[in-house]
Copies of this chain bind each other. A is one copy, B any other.
Amino acid sequence: MKNYIKADEWNIIEEGFDPILNKISESLFSIGNGRMGQRANFEENYSGETLQGNYVAGVYYPDKTRVGWWKNGYPEYFAKVLNAANWIGLNIKIDDEVLDLSTCTVTDFTRVLNMKAGTLSRSFTAQLKSGKIIQVNALRFCSIAEDESAALHYKITAVNFDGNISITSFIDGDIKNQDANYDEKFWNQVKQEQEGDTDFLVLRTKKTEFDVCTAIQTTVLYDDEKQQLNEVSKEKYIGRTVVVALKQKTSVDIYKIAVNLSSQNYDKTELLTVARQKIEKAVEQGFAQLLEAQIRAWATKWEESDIVIEGDVKAQQAIRFNIFQLNQTYTGKDARLNIGPKGFTGEKYGGSTYWDTEAYCIPFYLSTAPEVVAENLLVYRYKHLEKAIENAGKLGFNNGAALYPMVTMNGEECHNEWEITFEEIHRNGAIAFAIFNYIRYTGKENYLAQYGLEVLIGIARFWRQRVNWSNDKQKYVILGVTGPNEYENNINNNWYTNKLAAWCLNYAIEAASIVKNQEPEKYKAILEKVQLNEMEEFADWKTIASQMYYPYDEEEKIFLQQDGFMDKEQILVKDLPSTERPLNQKWSWDRILRSCYIKQADVLQGMYFFEDDYNQETLKRNYHFYESRTVHESSLSPCVHSILAAKLSDEEKAYEFYLRTARLDLDDYNNDTEDGLHITSMAGTWMSIVEGFAGMRVRNGALKFNPFLPKAWKSFSFNVGFRGVQLKVQINATQIRILNYVDQTLQITIFNKSYAVPLGETVITYNGQLV
């Protein structure tokens, strides 16, 4: 737990330089634009502790899977997110001294992430060993308007001396991953070129053969004059250098404009040509115009997605930080991309896609971005359907059964713990649920005919083969699974998985009937394509769904997380000494497994997904039973509990859970922010406010709210888009004010009462609960 970030509504601010915090700040101050991103590494040399990180979306390396004991069906590789060429690099020498914050005296250090503008700035005064003092102001951004461009401005002022400042501006491709075994390097140089004022470096990843072309143009201005630069280069490194005779109290300005192009988007043979055009265009616009476009683009993002909290600056800062990071990570322009657990902020958890996307991120993007953004996340899975069928095939399933991977870059599984890879199959259900959720929100049932139904059929076929009939129970059972609570492995009849599986089977049939009615030709074509025997398979699916076994405890009247759960020693989390926690650091794995402690919502995840199936009493019993056994050792845990607590009107608990998720990274709650940020759980924070505090749902094609105001706040408001309408919903202790920006009247339900919300402001008075 740290507490060094200054509270501010729109900015993340670090004051004073503490090398011990540097890697945490590198994560926190990361910038990105959905296409590329980078940690807040320094432009100039730094010999202290640092994790260098520049990332290009979709570029990975298939590292050979190494495990002690191989199991049949394990994937061939683990996808590593690759550290890519560093375009920000500057070597600064003052006479004979290299500027390196680790070797000089630093004062007035400030680092600011301006979330409104999407920029990272830094300023400091450095006294070198010689006594010379310089002042530096740096600002940079990855353009979200032109997402292959980035720019920086680095200004050096000589405070107390006249001297020669040597400046080298470069692209460094001779980088490696921190997680590389044996310091292996993953990039080969394809080409380097220096043409006009531009430096080009083309690198190729080993094995996967992605080409990435990085180009920079560096301008050095002194005394209003553009300085003449000399070319420098070596293997995987290219740049320009100049020495400027700096007079005391004057400044030299370095501008660096960069483009970063990947062969995922261009033919390899054209990469250089396109890079040339792009950098020329960017340079023509110049730093100032690029910056303006950046600010405009971020203004639009904020119009769609901002949440305003009055009366709590730290909460305000936290929620904006979460929203900002989500928008930096995924912009929804490209259905081949997805949301890595660390986004562009670190290497950890290599691979881009987990079930986090479907369970946590889709609701955020559905409400805060054009519909195509969430849709592209769904299409991503559609594009991987063939691979999911292959993956299921490797595990012995057939007839078009699809098992989506637990972790993937390109549709192939790249995780290899058997208890996760082979058994955490509920991910398949979350992917089906996301289709349902998307259609529920947008009303676009035609998504089924276009993409959704095929995916749902593959998933239903998987469940059909994955169940077996238990003679003992006279029900269908699902044996050998791992649920969302990964503190249980290889369990039988995980309630959540069984529930989700049955739901998938029914929903696939329902989806088929929608497509059959609405687009009979298309329906016929799909049936033919997937060779579905409508009569037999649907009948099968119905039987299984209706005769699914659900473990239940008669005494506690709760759904049982799995068979045998009540055999465990039932000591509640509150009675566990705090010295024993976090369990995943203090206890051996077997001890965790045989305990009753829960890592993240499991039965409760199911009750969150399918809340309409259960009354408040049932929810309450299950919530109290399971929450009291939950240690929340996953960043994805508190948000679901916050939403459920809100639903149970336990406002205090709902707010408590919100706090645990909101500043997870800003306060380095788990001592792991230095590895990168917890991007996917940030969507959960958003959900805690919108689905939790505001109680927003979509039912029968309309928005509904069951709001309450956390005691610590004066009001909160959020921007949300719904079926072509853009709303701002503000909630305070007595009123709900809805601003409709579009000339289209919406019917909205608040506490079960329906209201017409036309263009402009509608104010509804409420008092605690009732209107």
Report whether B568 and A396 are in contact in the complex, using a CB–CB cutoff of 8 Å: no
Report whether A396 and B588 are in contact in the complex, using a CB–CB cutoff of 8 Å: yes
Given contacts A567-B492, A570-B471, A594-B479, contact A71 B589 (CB under 8 A): yes
Q: How far is the CB of A694 from chain B (nearest CB, A)?
A: 38
Query: CA–CA, A182 to B66, complex, Å?
Result: 13
Q: How far is the CB of A42 from chain B (nearest CB, A)?
A: 31
Report whether A78 and B68 are in contact in the complex, using a CB–CB cutoff of 8 Å: yes
User: Which chain B residues lie closer than 8 Å to A492 at the CB level?
Assistant: 564, 567
Report whether B66 and A68 are in contact in the complex, using a CB–CB cutoff of 8 Å: yes
In the complex, which residue of chain B has the Cβ closest to the Cβ of A420? B69
User: Which chain B residues lie closer than 8 Å to A71 at the CB level?
Assistant: 588-589
Q: How far is the CB of A60 from chain B (nearest CB, A)?
A: 16
Could you mark each residue 569-599 of chain A with 1 if its beta carbon is under 8 Å from any beta carbon of chain B, else 0? 1100000000000001111111101100000
Report whether B587 and A72 are in contact in the complex, using a CB–CB cutoff of 8 Å: yes
Q: How far is the CB of A648 from chain B (nearest CB, A)?
A: 26
User: Which chain B residues lie closer than 8 Å to A564 at the CB level?
Assistant: 479, 492, 563-564
Q: Does A102 contact B (CB under 8 A)?
A: no
Q: Does A473 contact B (CB under 8 A)?
A: yes
Q: Does A566 contact B (CB under 8 A)?
A: yes
Stoichiometry (number of copies): 2
Could you mark each residue 470-503 of chain A with 1 if its beta carbon is under 8 Å from any beta carbon of chain B, else 0? 1111000101100000000111110000000000
Report whether B416 and A73 are in contact in the complex, using a CB–CB cutoff of 8 Å: no
Query: CA–CA, A587 to B395, complex, Å?
Result: 7
Could you mark each residue 403-419 of chain A with 1 if its beta carbon is under 8 Å from any beta carbon of chain B, else 0? 00000000000011111
Cross-interface CB contact of A468 among B78, B417, B423, B568, cutoff 8 Å: B568
Q: Does A230 contact B (CB under 8 A)?
A: no
In the complex, which residue of chain B has the Cβ closest to the Cβ of A468? B569
Report whether A584 and B72 are in contact in the complex, using a CB–CB cutoff of 8 Å: yes
Q: How far is the CB of A376 from chain B (nearest CB, A)?
A: 30
Cross-interface CB contact of A182 among B182, B469, B490, cutoff 8 Å: B182
Report whether A417 and B490 are in contact in the complex, using a CB–CB cutoff of 8 Å: no
Q: Does A422 contact B (CB under 8 A)?
A: yes
Given contacts A490-B490, A490-B593, contact A477 B588 (CB under 8 A): no
Report whether A590 and B68 are in contact in the complex, using a CB–CB cutoff of 8 Å: no
Q: Does A20 contact B (CB under 8 A)?
A: no
Query: CA–CA, A470 to B553, complex, Å?
Result: 14
User: Which chain B residues lie closer than 8 Å to A589 at the CB level?
Assistant: 71-73, 418, 422
Q: Does A394 contact B (CB under 8 A)?
A: yes
User: Which chain B residues lie closer than 8 Å to A479 at the CB level?
Assistant: 564, 567-568, 594
Given contacts A396-B591, A591-B396, contact A417 B563 (CB under 8 A): no
Report whether B569 and A469 are in contact in the complex, using a CB–CB cutoff of 8 Å: yes
Q: Does A67 contact B (CB under 8 A)?
A: yes
Q: Does A65 contact B (CB under 8 A)?
A: yes
User: Which chain B residues lie closer than 8 Å to A423 at the CB level?
Assistant: 590
Report whether B69 and A68 are in contact in the complex, using a CB–CB cutoff of 8 Å: no
Report whether B65 and A588 are in contact in the complex, using a CB–CB cutoff of 8 Å: no
Could you mark each residue 73-98 of chain A with 1 if its beta carbon is under 8 Å from any beta carbon of chain B, else 0? 10000100000000000000000000
In the complex, which residue of chain B has the Cβ closest to the Cβ of A585? B72
Query: CA–CA, A440 to B396, complex, Å?
Result: 48
Q: How far is the CB of A629 from chain B (nearest CB, A)?
A: 14
Q: How far is the CB of A590 from chain B (nearest CB, A)?
A: 4
Cross-interface CB contact of A480 among B418, B470, B593, cutoff 8 Å: B593
Given contacts A396-B588, A591-B396, contact A567 B68 (CB under 8 A): no
The CB with the most chain B CB atoms within 10 A, among A69, A415, A563, is that of A69
In the complex, which residue of chain B has the Cβ closest to the Cβ of A181? B66
Cross-interface CB contact of A563 among B72, B473, B563, cutoff 8 Å: B563
Given contacts A71-B588, A72-B587, A73-B588, 4 further A-B contacts (CB under 8 A): A72-B589, A396-B588, A423-B590, A471-B570
Chain A interfacial positions (CB closer than 8 Å to B): 65-69, 71-73, 78, 182, 394-396, 415-419, 422-423, 468-473, 477, 479-480, 489-493, 563-564, 566-570, 584-591, 593-594
The 26 sampled A-B contact pairs (Cβ below 8 Å) are: A66-B68, A68-B415, A68-B416, A68-B417, A69-B417, A71-B589, A72-B584, A72-B585, A72-B587, A395-B588, A395-B591, A396-B587, A418-B589, A422-B588, A422-B589, A422-B590, A468-B569, A470-B568, A471-B570, A472-B566, A479-B567, A480-B593, A489-B489, A489-B490, A490-B490, A564-B564
The 9 A-B pairs of least Cβ separation, nearest first, read: A73-B588, A422-B590, A480-B594, A71-B589, A479-B594, A472-B566, A395-B588, A470-B567, A468-B569
